[in-house]
Structure 1
């Protein structure tokens, strides 16, 4: 069984940041990622542009060069891949962590679908993009329904319903409209979200105002059928002809996995996990959280730009334990 000072669960930007810092401090480490490098970013829409500027997405002061001030998905994939490969980070890809439990020596045994590892410390940096917030309505399991949007070309000439009013919903609605789709947005609130990128918000509002994109505010999708959808609106229920539904209602962390590890949840509404904000250590000693997973359902709380510092907090705390405690040992 391979042994490490730290096993990092998740090979996204924050997991990579933790690996960089661990390597810099001379710690033995392993990053375990269930998909490809920065797997979540790979599944972002092909034309997606980040809200943050390139410098705020940088890791370990490694320059991120972008053709625009705010980089796009393909540039981010290139950047984070090169950061990982040029620094020869130890990453096991397409390997899923199943469990991490302490043994009789108070060290973690990490079980994956391929192997077992032993570590003094574990960092959970799994993000939130894997589990969509479901609508829980009839027909949601039809093949025409997706919770992930990729390329607008696929929807050209089709009747498309976009559920939601956040960045992902707005981007999808605008791109599909511009590729020739007949787009209707179904929005439960009375306006486009205030979180939408400031340079995009006027665009969607003007397209709605001119009628290029239809928007049903204060409305909810109630049923999805093979060739139509039912929508509850302030003026009553209506039926829309429909080919595809993009249910872009957000995503959430894998709470079942966090609970399985023994991490306590502090708030029953936001489902925020318990951790020390100064060290990122959870209620379980030597088990840490990093990145977006720290926010629970408040996925707008943490971003790459404000959670990349978690790596510094965690590794500094791990080093301090090694320095002042004989109960921990380094592999």
Structure 2
């Protein structure tokens, strides 16, 4: 049942990921009226992760609300995380509206009007905890719009016995390359840098480097795609020399970005080349009074700056600031 448009919430939380849920738990602990608005399912970004993904973090570093995360494996996977976070939402009866997208956040005199695809709400405070997984970082090259180009990777089976180009050298690119190779794909990696990213999970990095060294997976370093065709791709190296190779699918694991237009339209200042949103590091409040940021969205284009484990504290910081203002 939806709240009446005239009811004033203490906090409206945009985003039902782990950090958004943690903000709700913190608000609930202090008896504040809150609501989470999530455009997909609970922890929607995790739901869209590759099916067999393993977290870099151990289970205890993914915990929220002081609720134990029990995992049989040292590194929990996607399904365990979904069970954990969705289980918390059920068990705690968190107030969350799913499959409802926030369209805009407008500040009025002392409160916010929040319009969604279903209705509108009023809140004294708003927390944006939207993550970054919904907008692909496009290569902006000819042919990127072709159906064979995928910016999201879930599982290797569709690519069996196909010629695959994987763009990038981060964890997502390495996982896609190794998994599709082991299901019979002919894999070529196109990598801008001189080596596989040093941030790749330590138990996976030797695997991809050995597969490249033995020639099982081809890798072109200091290279970039310049055009994608229906049955081939063209890439160039640092000297501008172009090569064309046969290709069935392109897995463009080029990363993702926060919704900068939404942040700007909410009145938040974006700074520098990385479009870092302005916020006070002690409170997480933006330049807009009573509008807060939480989680990975705080990093702008630098989406490797914040993780679940180091941004869990944002919930407590924000709620403490809200309570201090009301005293």
Structures share fold, TM-score greater than 0.5: yes
Matched, 1:75 2:80: yes
Which of 24, 29, 32 is the equivalent residue of 2:29?
Answer: 24
Which of 121, 126, 135 is the equivalent residue of 1:122?
Answer: 126
The 2-side partners of 1:275 and 1:238 are apart by: 45
The 2-side partners of 1:195 and 1:72 are apart by: 18
Matched, 1:156 2:143: no
1:17-166 matches, within 5 Å, as 17-103=22-108, 105-166=109-170
What runs of 5+ residues in structure 2 fail to find an aligned partner?
A: none
The 2-side partners of 1:250 and 1:96 are apart by: 22
Report the Cα offset of residue 265 of structure 1.
1.2
Q: Which residue of 2 aligns with 1:228?
A: 232
Report the Cα offset of residue 270 of structure 1.
1.4
The 2-side partners of 1:119 and 1:231 are apart by: 50
The 1-side partners of 2:87 and 2:289 are apart by: 33
Matched, 1:315 2:319: yes
What runs of 5+ residues in structure 1 fail to find an aligned partner?
A: 324-331
Q: Which residue of 2 aligns with 1:274?
A: 278
The 2-side partners of 1:59 and 1:143 are apart by: 39
Matched, 1:285 2:289: yes
Report the Cα offset of residue 3 of structure 1.
2.1
Q: Which residue of 1 aligns with 2:214?
A: 210
How many residue pairs end up in the alignment?
321
Write out per-residue CA displacement over residues 95-122 of structure 1, whole angstroms, 9 at most, x where no aligned residue: 000111122x321011001011000000
The CA RMSD measured in Å over matched residues stands at 0.8
Report the Cα offset of residue 234 of structure 1.
4.6
The 2-side partners of 1:160 and 1:180 are apart by: 10
